[in-house]
């Protein structure tokens, strides 16, 4: 083998000194006469981390190169060897200080090999642990995978080195126990965990040493990480050393041990202890942040929590001796083959790795699969090769040494096994982000506030500056104004002085004249006087001007106010006019409705009478029935409530009181009072009382004195009602009622007033005793005067009055009174009678027909009637009148009058 195999510099100082080397450099002589190539800077002594088999490669690097470290341990002679080999020297000679081993070939020749550590038969278990395993354990605690293996011939002390429990003698404790001691001492029970599995590989089958029934466990390889695990094996958490020792003992008890010729205790199985160490690396994180100072605050915060997983694999390999030497028989031969299958596969892999071969036959055996990352993988690996001293086993010892030498050339890429907890990192980051967002918001707010404050300060300062500036400007202006005024004043004074001088000069002459004229007043006095009066004049004029200005202003204001008032007045006037128009309209409507009602009532009454009795004599009292009809309707329409309330009023207030209200100052009150009285007068029972209480007089006074059309109308209506009673009729006449009614008839224009007046007169016309007086006081004339109105209701009342009057005359005539020509004819009623004898309105026509009949009954009227054209009307009535009683009456009248008969004969008219 070439020394050029040292590929990794100083730390890889491993070499094999062969005889050929002697030839190359014969001057370099060893004690045994061989030349030795010095081991490059292999440090001696035991130092943590930087020494030991694993050397001083930077452990904190996530990935470092590392060579498989190999130590050789020599077992002391056992009792048998003491005897058997008593005459022979050991086959090896150790030079531990030089880390060399000499393998004697014969008495004069030997091969020298250099190892990372050479452990003599006197090496304590403690020292073996420290140089072989401790650096690996420390690596595991730092998150690397680590492997410690013992390789050697059966009985050379592999189990002694690795698995000794040291219960009798603490100093005997092997690597497994000591490793666990160190691990447990270093981990923190709260945050870290230690799990252990213990299995054996026997005849290519993995068996759980903690549960032997759990057999043929499969090996699982993580395709991503390449991690190898035996998930089927029992994992036991280790919390204390004692439980671990118990576990090892249990495993040992289960360990299959075959009795072999070489050593009854020896095992032909591979025992595999796996220790899984999981650590959280808080301590390291803190160290990092403290190193970097405050600036690294964020780095720390954003660092995901680290969990370091280290795996320590301790492999107690089966004996490496050749089958033929093991003395195996029967199935144990197969056994030996299987044992060697795994071992020879391991050897092949190591050879391939040592030679940098592109193909490493890892998959050839279960052992190599299990140790895949221990050799040429990502673990720190330490191999201890055990040898015995006996020259009888020289061959085995040689091969063991050669195995170890090859293993020293295997390089591992050591990777730290760190896992990032991204979930909790994300959580942390979220929290951090939220904190930052909140902080940012706060800062923004503060910033905005600051900006606002600065802006408002600036604004204030600007305002202040502006104010100062305008103040200064104003002061400046005032100052200029003052200066200007003073200058003006000075100039004026100057001017006045000049003027005075000039005036004085001018006055010299007149002054002389004045003196000459003997006025006796000094010119200066005069001037002063004049000036004074002038000044007075000026101030007066100024005052006057001011006054004028003020007055003008006032006038303007007044005009404005007036204009406003005028528009208001116009508006109000307009409103008033509208109101009046509305009122007139309503009144007209009421009038029309009233007249329609009267007409209908009258017609109904007449129809009823003619149907009931056919008595023409009583038709003349039309108004009586009309009024009572109206009254009846009114009371009926307004309901019992009004009737009752009026009666109640009558009782409570008293008639006298009501009548006194007729003279009230208030027109409204008068109107209401007269309405109430009119309503009362419609009741026959009240009529006498009203008249007795002076109501008639009051009503007549009202008729005479009032200018209110409505009062006159209602009063006339009331009088008309009262005039239905015979005794009242006399009273009315006695109190000059007819002249008052005549006056009203003459100047009233309202058809309803005229209707009432005409009605009242018509009632009076029906009184036999009052005929002459009535006619004498102008009653008939007043009645006829009202036809000018043309309203059928008025005309009907006029016709009724005429009919009443004619009836009374004919009655008097039939009772034998000596009467002259009818007063109606005297007062010129006949033309109107004839004219309206065939009036379209039946109430008018009926009354006139009756009047004609009554007039015709009095012979003295016949001549006038014939000449007035009344005869023709009588004939028509006697022939065509729809009412039979009137027709008969007309006929009888015509027959009974000789004058009419003669005329009819003359005219050859048959009747
Ligand atoms: P292996 O496991 O390699 O077959 P063992 O560890 O069983 O060998 O050792 C065989 C015998 O040798 C045991 O009795 C053991 O106590 C003893 N032995 C091995 N190595 C030493 C040593 N370094 N010091 C004292 N006794 C040892
Ligand atoms: Mg053993």
Residue range 174-201, pLDDT digits in tens: 999 999 999 999 999 888 999 999 998 8
Question: What are 661's two structure tokens?
Answer: 């209200």
Q: Does the pLDDT of residue 639 top 50, yes or no? A: no
- Tell me what the mean pLDDT of segment 738-760 comes to: 89
Q: Does the pLDDT of residue 861 top 60, yes or no? A: yes
Question: What are 879's two structure tokens?
Answer: 């022939």
pLDDT digits (tens, 9 = 90+) for 528-560: 888 898 899 899 989 888 988 888 898 999 989
Please name the residues in contact with 1: beta carbons below 8 A apart, sequence gap of 6 or more: 16, 18, 405
- Answer for the pair 68, 375: CB distance below 8 angstroms, yes or no: yes
Ligand 1 neighbourhood includes 706 CB (under 6 angstroms) = no
Cα separation, 687 vs 678, in Å, equals: 10
Q: Give the DSSP per-residue string, 282-311.
A: HHHHHHHHHHH-GGGHHHHHHSPPEEEEEE
Ligand 1 neighbourhood includes 158 CB (under 6 angstroms) = yes
- Tell me what the mean pLDDT of segment 673-683 comes to: 84
What's the pLDDT at 504?
83
Q: Does the pLDDT of residue 153 top 70, yes or no? A: yes
Question: Closest ligand 1 atom to the C-alpha of 265?
Answer: 7
Among 157-161, 507-511, 692-696, 860-864, the least confident range: 507-511
In 29-75 the beta strands, taken as DSSP E runs, fall at: 63-67, 69-74
Question: Closest ligand 1 atom to the C-alpha of 74?
Answer: 23
The two counts, helices (H) then strands (E), for the chain are 34, 18
- The reply, when asked if residue 156 is annotated as ligand binding, is yes
- The residue that leads in pLDDT, 419 or 519, is 419
Q: Does the pLDDT of residue 294 top 50, yes or no? A: no
Q: Which of 84-88, 90-94, 281-285 has the highest mean pLDDT?
A: 90-94
Q: Does the pLDDT of residue 161 top 90, yes or no? A: yes
Q: Does the pLDDT of residue 651 top 80, yes or no? A: no
pLDDT digits (tens, 9 = 90+) for 56-66: 333 333 344 57
Ligand 1 neighbourhood includes 404 CB (under 6 angstroms) = no
CA angle 539, 544, 550 (to 5 degrees): 125
Residues of the chain by 3-state class (helix, strand, coil), percent to 5: 65, 10, 25
Q: How far apart, in Å, are the Cα atoms of 823 and each of 61, 751, 778, 807? A: 159, 26, 11, 12
- Tell me what the mean pLDDT of segment 477-496 comes to: 89
**For residues 544-570, b (16+ Cβ closer than 10 Å) or e, as one string?**
eeeeeeeeeeeeeeeeeeeeeeeeeee
Share of the chain above pLDDT 90, in %: 30
- The residue that leads in pLDDT, 79 or 11, is 79
What's the pLDDT at 100?
93
Cα separation, 243 vs 184, in Å, equals: 12
Question: Closest ligand 1 atom to the C-alpha of 160?
Answer: 6
Ligand 1 neighbourhood includes 155 CB (under 6 angstroms) = yes
Q: Does the pLDDT of residue 595 top 70, yes or no? A: no
Nearest to 780 by CA among 769, 764, 796, 792: 764
Confidence of residue 842 (pLDDT cuts 50, 70, 90): confident
What's the pLDDT at 265?
42
- Tell me what the mean pLDDT of segment 850-860 comes to: 90
Q: How far apart, in Å, are the Cα atoms of 618 and each of 131, 190, 621? A: 165, 137, 6
- The residue that leads in pLDDT, 707 or 217, is 217
What's the pLDDT at 415?
59
The model's pTM is: 0.45
Q: Mean pLDDT across the chain, nearest whole number? A: 79
Q: Does the pLDDT of residue 625 top 80, yes or no? A: no
- The residue that leads in pLDDT, 6 or 639, is 639
Q: What is the 8-class DSSP label of residue 653? A: H
- Answer for the pair 17, 35: CB distance below 8 angstroms, yes or no: yes
Ligand 1 neighbourhood includes 265 CB (under 6 angstroms) = yes
- Mapped onto helix, strand or coil, the DSSP state of residue 316 is strand
The alpha carbon of 787 is separated from its chain's Cα centroid by a whole number of angstroms, namely: 84
Please name the residues in contact with 228: beta carbons below 8 A apart, sequence gap of 6 or more: 219, 220, 221, 222, 369, 370, 372, 373
Q: Which of 75, 166, 169, 175 to mutate to test the pocket of ligand 1 (most atoms within 8 A of CB)?
A: 75
Among 10-19, 625-634, 834-843, the least confident range: 10-19
Cα separation, 402 vs 385, in Å, equals: 10
Q: 514: CA distance to ligand 1 center in Å?
A: 173
- The reply, when asked if residue 159 is annotated as ligand binding, is yes
Ligand 1 neighbourhood includes 139 CB (under 6 angstroms) = no
Among 175-189, 672-686, 874-888, the least confident range: 672-686
- Tell me what the mean pLDDT of segment 77-83 comes to: 88
Ligand 1 neighbourhood includes 601 CB (under 6 angstroms) = no
What's the pLDDT at 511?
52
Q: 680: CA distance to ligand 1 center in Å?
A: 157
Question: Closest ligand 1 atom to the C-alpha of 386?
Answer: 3
- The reply, when asked if residue 547 is annotated as ligand binding, is no
Q: What is the 8-class DSSP label of residue 144? A: B
Cα separation, 552 vs 15, in Å, equals: 135
Ligand 1 neighbourhood includes 263 CB (under 6 angstroms) = yes
What's the pLDDT at 594?
63
Confidence of residue 1 (pLDDT cuts 50, 70, 90): very low
- The reply, when asked if residue 158 is annotated as ligand binding, is yes
pLDDT digits (tens, 9 = 90+) for 215-272: 889 999 888 877 888 999 999 999 999 999 999 999 888 875 433 333 434 457 889 9
Q: Which ligand is nearest to the CA of 263?
A: 1
HSE, CB side, 13 Å, CA atoms: give it for residue 80: 8
Cα separation, 186 vs 179, in Å, equals: 11
Question: Closest ligand 1 atom to the C-alpha of 153?
Answer: 3
What's the pLDDT at 38?
34
pLDDT digits (tens, 9 = 90+) for 827-836: 999 999 999 9
Q: Which of 103-117, 239-253, 326-340 has the highest mean pLDDT?
A: 239-253
- The residue that leads in pLDDT, 413 or 764, is 764
Q: 161: CA distance to ligand 2 center in Å?
A: 9
Cα separation, 178 vs 888, in Å, equals: 167
- Tell me what the mean pLDDT of segment 778-802 comes to: 93
Q: 250: CA distance to ligand 2 center in Å?
A: 16
Q: Does the pLDDT of residue 603 top 80, yes or no? A: no
């Amino acid at each position: 083998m070439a020394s050029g195999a040292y590929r990794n510099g100083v730390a890889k100082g491993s070499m094999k000194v062969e005889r050929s080397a002697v030839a190359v450099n014969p001057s370099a002589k060893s004690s045994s006469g061989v030349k030795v190539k010095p081991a490059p800077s292999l440090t001696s002594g035991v130092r943590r981390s930087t020494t030991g088999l694993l050397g001083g490669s930077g452990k904190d690097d996530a990935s470092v190169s590392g060579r498989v470290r190999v130590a050789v341990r020599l077992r002391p002679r056992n009792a048998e060897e003491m005897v058997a080999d008593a005459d022979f020297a050991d086959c090896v000679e150790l030079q531990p200080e030089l880390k060399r081993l000499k393998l004697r070939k014969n008495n004069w020749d030997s091969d020298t090999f250099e190892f990372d550590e050479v452990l003599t038969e006197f090496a304590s278990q403690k020292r073996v642990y420290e140089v072989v395993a401790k650096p690996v354990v420390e690596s595991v605690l730092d998150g690397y995978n680590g492997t410690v293996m013992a390789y050697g011939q059966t009985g050379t002390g592999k189990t002694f080195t690795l698995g000794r429990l040291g219960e009798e003698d603490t100093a005997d404790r092997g690597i497994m126990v000591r490793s666990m001691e160190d691990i447990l001492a270093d981990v923190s029970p709260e945050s870290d965990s230690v799990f252990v599995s213990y299995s054996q590989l026997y005849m290519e089958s993995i068996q759980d040493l903690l549960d032997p029934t759990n057999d043929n466990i499969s090996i699982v390889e993580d395709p991503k990480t390449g991690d190898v695990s035996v998930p089927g094996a029992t994992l036991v958490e280790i919390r204390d050393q004692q439980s671990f020792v118990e576990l090892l003992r249990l495993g040992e008890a289960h360990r299959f041990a075959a009795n072999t010729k070489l050593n009854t205790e020896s095992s032909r199985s591979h025992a595999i202890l796996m220790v899984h160490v999981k650590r959280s690396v808080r301590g390291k994180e803190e160290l990092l942040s403290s190193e970097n100072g405050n600036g690294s605050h964020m780095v720390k915060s954003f660092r995901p929590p680290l969990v370091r997983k280290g795996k320590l694999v301790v492999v107690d390999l089966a004996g490496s001796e050749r089958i033929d030497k093991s003395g195996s028989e029967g199935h144990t031969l197969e056994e030996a083959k299987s044992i060697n299958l795994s071992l020879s596969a391991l050897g092949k892999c190591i050879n391939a790795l040592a030679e940098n071969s592109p193909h490493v036959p890892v998959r050839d055996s279960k052992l190599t699969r299990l140790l895949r990352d221990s050799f040429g993988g990502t673990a720190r690996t330490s191999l201890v090769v055990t040898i015995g001293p006996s020259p009888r086993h020289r061959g085995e010892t040689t091969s063991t040494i050669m195995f170890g030498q090859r293993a020293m050339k295997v390089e591992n890429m050591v990777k730290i096994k760190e896992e990032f907890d991204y979930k909790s990192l994300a959580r942390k980051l979220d929290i951090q982000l939220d904190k930052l967002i909140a902080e940012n918001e706060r800062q923004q707010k503060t910033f905005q506030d600051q900006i606002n404050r600065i802006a408002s300060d600036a604004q204030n300062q600007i305002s202040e500056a502006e104010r100062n500036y305008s103040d200064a400007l104003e002061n400046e202006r005032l100052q200029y104004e003052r200066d200007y005024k003073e200058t003006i004043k000075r100039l004026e004074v100057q001017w006045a002085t000049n003027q005075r001088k000039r005036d004085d000069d001018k006055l010299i002459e007149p002054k002389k004249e004045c003196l000459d004229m003997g006025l006796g007043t000094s010119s200066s006095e005069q001037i002063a006087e004049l000036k004074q009066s002038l000044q007075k004049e000026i101030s007066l004029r100024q005052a006057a001007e001011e006054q004028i200005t003020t007055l003008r202003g006032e006038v303007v204001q007044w005009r404005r106010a007036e204009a406003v008032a005028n528009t208001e007045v116009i508006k109000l006037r307009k409103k008033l006019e509208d109101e009046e128009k509305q009122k007139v309209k309503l009144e007209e409507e009421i009038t029309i409705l009233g007249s329609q009602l009267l007409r209908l009532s009258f017609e109904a009454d007449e129809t009823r009478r003619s149907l009931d009795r056919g008595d023409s004599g009583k038709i003349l009292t039309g108004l009586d029935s009309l009024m009572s009809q109206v009254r009846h309707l009114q009371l009926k329409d307004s309901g019992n409530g009004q009737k009752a309330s009026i009666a109640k009023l009558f009782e409570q207030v008293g008639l006298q009181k009501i009548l006194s209200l007729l003279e009230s100052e208030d027109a409204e009150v008068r109107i209401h009072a007269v309405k109430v009285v009119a309503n009362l007068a419609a009741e026959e029972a009240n009529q006498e009382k009203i008249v007795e209480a002076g109501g008639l007089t009051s009503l007549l006074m009202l008729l005479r004195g009032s200018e209110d059309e409505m009062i006159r109308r209602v009063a006339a209506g009331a009088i008309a009602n009262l005039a239905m009673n015979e005794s009242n009729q006399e009273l009315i006449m006695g109190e000059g009622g007819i002249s008052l009614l005549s006056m009203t008839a003459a100047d009233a224009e309202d058809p309803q007033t005229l209707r009432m007046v005409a009605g009242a007169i018509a009632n009076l016309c029906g009184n036999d005793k009052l005929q002459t007086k009535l006619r004498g006081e102008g009653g008939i004339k007043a009645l006829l005067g009202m036809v000018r109105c043309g309203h059928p209701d008025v005309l009907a009342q006029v016709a009724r009055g005429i009919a009443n009057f004619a009836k009374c005359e004919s009655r008097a005539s039939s009772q034998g009174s000596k009467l002259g020509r009818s007063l109606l004819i005297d007062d010129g009623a006949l033309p109107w009678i004839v004219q309206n004898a065939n009036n379209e309105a039946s109430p008018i026509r009926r009354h006139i027909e009756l009047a004609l009949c009554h007039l015709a009954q009095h012979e003295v009227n016949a001549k006038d009637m014939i000449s007035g054209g009344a005869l023709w009307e009588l004939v028509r009535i006697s022939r065509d009148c729809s009412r039979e009683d009137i027709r008969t009456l007309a006929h009888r009248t015509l027959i009974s009058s000789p004058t009419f008969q003669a005329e009819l004969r003359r005219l050859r008219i048959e009747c």
